[in-house]
Structures are given as structure tokens and as C-alpha cells.
């Protein structure tokens, strides 16, 4: 009875428009771990997280029966990267038969700016390399990095077999 009322509810997608300070807390956690246990321990924790993420990706690679097909494995890794929010693409470099994953968004940019080696190499590189572990002898190299001022992050992936073919 009485006046009609309108009730609005914010969706999860709508909540994402509000500022979040994940970076503040993650930086504080990493600083605290590094201060109490040492930087090596903090990096070990980050690498352990990368291994957990990579384990799920590796399962998808194995499930799709593509463990020894580097390009198909990289497509699965790229899909996972996009699901995490990296806005990445996979390209093949024909001249040397390498691949690169280029990300237009760094999901941990503010944290990576303060902890570049730990996040860019200890997390992002490790996710790619550990996802391929046991299935490929690929080498991963971070060429460009947003935390270092580049416009995007680009990981070059080269098969170890390429090096054998050249010798």
C-alpha cells in the first residue's frame, strides 16, 4: 500500500566500476612477506601461485590432446590469458618460426610497477613456461613490459628444437 517503490541492486559487473585497491593490499602483503621472510620467499610464493594457475592450463592442454603441438598449446594459454583479463593475442613470427603472446592489459600493473621482476618474471613468465612444462622444450622471453613503460607486454616463445635445427 502507499507509494510505489523502486529497488535497485548493483550487479557484480556494476561493482567493477567502483575503485578497488587490490594493488595497495597486494603490494603491502608482498612487502610484509619480503620484510619478514626475505624477497626470495616472497618470490617463491608468487611462483607457487603461477604453478597453480599453470596446472589448470596444463590440464586443458592435455585434455585437448595437444601436449606436443606448441601452437595449439599456446592458443589454450592465450585463451586462459584472456579469461584472466590480459587482453592478449597470439601471433607467429614466420621468419624464425617463433610465437609471441602480446598483452594489451596488465592485470597487476600497479603491483608490477613496484615488483617488476617478481610479477612479470615470477608470475607472468612462469604461467606460460609452467603451462608448457613437460610438453614442450620452449623458451620464454619477456621482450616488452608495461611495468617498464612499454605499451604492451610481449612474451616471445621459441621452441628448443629450433636451436637444434640451426646447429
- The CATH architecture that domain 22-166 belongs to is 2-Layer Sandwich (3.30)
Where exactly are the structural domains of the chain?
22-166
pLDDT tens series, the chain, 167 aa: 788 888 888 898 888 788 878 899 999 999 999 999 999 999 999 999 999 999 999 999 999 877 678 999 999 999 999 999 999 999 999 888 899 999 999 999 999 999 999 999 999 999 999 999 876 688 999 999 999 999 999 999 998 764 444 43
- Cell 613470427 appears where? 93
DSSP 147: G
pLDDT given at position 135:
66
E-strand spans in 94-163? 98-103, 139-144, 153-158
| Contacts for 14 with CB less than 8 Å, ≥ 6 apart | none
Which residues, in sequence order, are bridge partners of residue 153?
103
Q: Which three cell numbers stand for residue 132?
A: 608448457
Q: Which three cell numbers stand for residue 150?
A: 612499454
DSSP 115: S
Closest of 151, 86, 93, 160 to residue 129, by C-alpha? 160
Closest of 51, 53, 131 to residue 85, by C-alpha? 53
The Cα-based distances of 5 to 8, 10, 11, 14, 42 in angstroms read: 10, 16, 19, 21, 52
pLDDT given at position 13:
85
H/E segment holding residue 135? none
Amino acid at each position: 500500500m502507499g507509494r510505489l517503490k523502486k529497488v535497485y541492486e548493483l550487479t557484480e559487473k556494476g561493482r567493477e566500476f567502483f575503485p578497488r585497491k587490490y594493488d595497495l593490499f597486494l603490494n603491502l602483503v608482498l612487502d610484509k612477506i619480503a620484510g619478514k621472510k626475505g624477497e626470495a620467499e616472497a618470490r617463491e610464493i608468487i611462483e607457487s601461485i603461477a604453478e597453480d594457475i599453470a596446472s589448470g592450463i596444463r590440464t586443458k592442454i592435455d585434455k585437448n590432446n595437444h601436449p606436443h603441438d606448441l601452437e595449439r598449446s599456446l592458443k589454450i594459454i592465450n585463451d586462459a590469458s584472456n579469461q584472466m583479463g590480459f587482453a592478449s593475442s597470439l601471433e607467429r613470427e614466420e621468419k624464425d618460426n617463433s610465437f609471441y603472446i602480446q598483452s594489451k592489459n596488465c592485470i597487476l600493473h600497479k603491483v608490477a610497477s613496484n615488483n617488476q621482476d617478481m610479477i612479470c618474471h615470477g608470475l607472468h613468465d612462469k604461467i606460460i613456461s609452467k603451462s608448457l612444462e613437460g610438453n614442450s622444450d620452449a623458451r620464454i622471453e619477456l621482450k616488452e613490459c608495461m611495468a617498464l613503460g612499454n605499451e604492451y607486454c610481449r612474451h616471445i616463445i621459441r621452441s628448443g628444437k629450433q636451436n637444434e635445427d640451426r646447429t
